[in-house]
Chains A and B, each alone.
Chain A
Amino acid sequence: MRMKASEELITSGHLACQGCGGTMVMRHALRALGDNTVVVIPACCWTIIAGQFPYSSLRVPILHTAFETAGAAASGVRAALDIQGKEDTNVLAFAGDGGTFDIGLQSLSGAAERNEDIIYICYDNEAYMNTGIQRSSATPEMAWTTTTPSTRPKSGPKKNMIQILAAHKAPYCATANVAWPEDLTNKVKKAMTIRGTKFIHVLSPCPPGWKISSEYSIEVARLATHCNVFPIYEVYDGERYHINIQPKNIPVTEYLKAQGRFRHLTDEEIEHIQKRVDYEWKILLQREMTDSYHMNMPA
Chain B
Amino acid sequence: MKKVLMGNHAASWAVKLADVKMIAAYPITPQTQIVEELSEMCGSGELKAKFLKVESEHSAMASCIAASSAGVRAFTATSANGLALMHELLHWASGARLPLVMVNVNRAMAPGWNIWADQSDSLSQRDTGWLQLYVEDNQEVLDTVLQAYYIAEKVNLPVMVCYDAFFLSHTYEAVDIPEKQAVQDWLPPHARENILNTKDPRAFNGLVMPDVYMEMRYKLQQAHEEAVAVVKEAGESFAKAFDRSYSTIETVYCDDAETVLVTSSSTTSPARLVVEALREKGMKIGLMKVRLFRPFPVDDICQVLSGKKKVVVIDRNISFGKGGIFADEIRGAIANDPQAPIIFGYITGLGGRDITPELVEDIVMEAEKNERPERLALWKGLKS
| Residues of A near any B CB (own CB < 8 A) | 35-38, 40, 47-48, 50-53, 55-56, 58-66, 68-69, 71-77, 79-84, 89, 106-107, 109-110, 113-114
Q: A51-B203, A73-B66, A76-B22 are in contact. List 5 more A-B contacts (CB 8 A).
A: A52-B208, A63-B204, A80-B67, A83-B49, A107-B56
B54 on interface, CB distance cutoff 8 Å: yes
Contact partners of A40 in chain B: CB under 8 A: 66
Q: How far is the CB of B50 from chain A (nearest CB, A)?
A: 4
A-B contact count (CB 8 A): 161
CB B121 to nearest CB in A, in angstroms, measures 20
Chain B residues with CB below 8 A from A53, complex form = 203, 206-209, 212
CA distance A201 to B48 in the complex (A): 35
Which residue of A52, A73, A80, A109 is within 8 Å of B55 (Cβ)? A109
Set of chain A residues within 8 Å of B54, measured between Cβ atoms: 72, 75, 110, 114
Bound: A83/B73 CA distance, A: 11
Asked if B59 contacts A80 (CB within 8 A), the reply is no
Instruction: Determine the distance from Cα of A75 to Cα of B58 in the docked complex, in whole angstroms.
Output: 13
From 193 to 213 in chain B, residues with beta carbon under 8 angstroms from any chain A beta carbon are 194-198, 201-209, 212
Residue among A48, A53, A64, A71 facing the most chain B CB atoms (10 A cut-off): A53
- CB-nearest residue of chain A to B200: A61
Which chain A residues lie closer than 8 Å to B58 at the CB level?
Answer: 68-69, 72, 106-107
Question: What chain A residues lie within 8 Å of B50 (beta carbons)?
Answer: 79-80, 82-83
B215 CB to closest chain A CB, in angstroms? 11
Assembly CA distance A250 to B89 (angstroms):
47
- Which chain B residues border A69 with CB–CB below 8 Å? 58-59, 62, 89
The reply to whether the CB of B72 lies closer than 8 angstroms to some CB of chain A is yes
The answer to whether B203 touches A56, judged by C-beta atoms less than 8 angstroms apart, is yes
Contact assessment for A77 and B59 in the assembled complex, using a CB-CB cutoff below 8 Å:
no
Question: A61-B198, A83-B72 known; A77 and B89 CB under 8 Å?
Answer: no
Complex alpha-carbon distance, A187 and B152, angstroms: 42
Query: Which residues of B (32-76) have their CB < 8 Å from a CB of A?
Result: 48-50, 52-56, 58-60, 62-72, 74
Known: A68-B58, A77-B196, A107-B59. A50 touches B203 (CB 8 A): yes
Contact (Cβ within 8 A) A80 B72: yes
- Which of A47, A61, A73 has most B Cβ within 10 Å? A61
- B336-375, CB < 8 A from A: none
**Binary interface encoding of chain B residues 316-335 relative to chain A, with 1 for a CB under 8 A from any of its CBs, else 0:** 00000000000000000000
Q: Are A65 and B66 in contact (CB under 8 A)?
A: yes
Are B55 and A51 touching (Cβ within 8 A)? no
Shortest CB-to-CB span from A74 to chain B, Å, is: 7
The reply to whether B72 and A73 contact each other, CB–CB distance below 8 Å, is no
Cα A83 to Cα B195 with chains together (Å): 15
Decide yes or no whether B284 CB sits under 8 A from chain A. Answer: no
The smallest C-beta distance from B275 to any residue of chain A, in angstroms, reads: 45
Which B residues touch A47, using CB under 8 A? 206-207
Given contacts A60-B201, A80-B21, A84-B72, contact A50 B206 (CB under 8 A): yes
Task: Determine if B24 is an interface residue (Cβ-Cβ < 8 Å).
Answer: yes
For residue B92, CB closer than 8 A to chain A, the reply is yes
Subset of 5 A-B contacts with CB under 8 Å: A53-B208, A59-B201, A106-B56, A107-B62, A114-B52
Question: How far is B74's CA from A64's CA once the two chains are assembled, in angstroms?
Answer: 18
Nearest B residue to A107 by beta-carbon distance? B59
Q: Cβ of A73 and Cβ of B206 under 8 Å apart?
A: no
The verdict on A76 contacting B62 (CB below 8 Å), with A66-B92, A110-B55 known, is yes
Closest Cβ of chain B to A133, distance in Å, is: 20
A79 B62 Cβ-Cβ under 8 A: no
Q: Which residues of B contact A60 (CB under 8 A)?
A: 198, 201
Tell whether, in the assembled complex, residue B198 and residue A36 are in contact, meaning their CB atoms are under 8 Å apart. yes
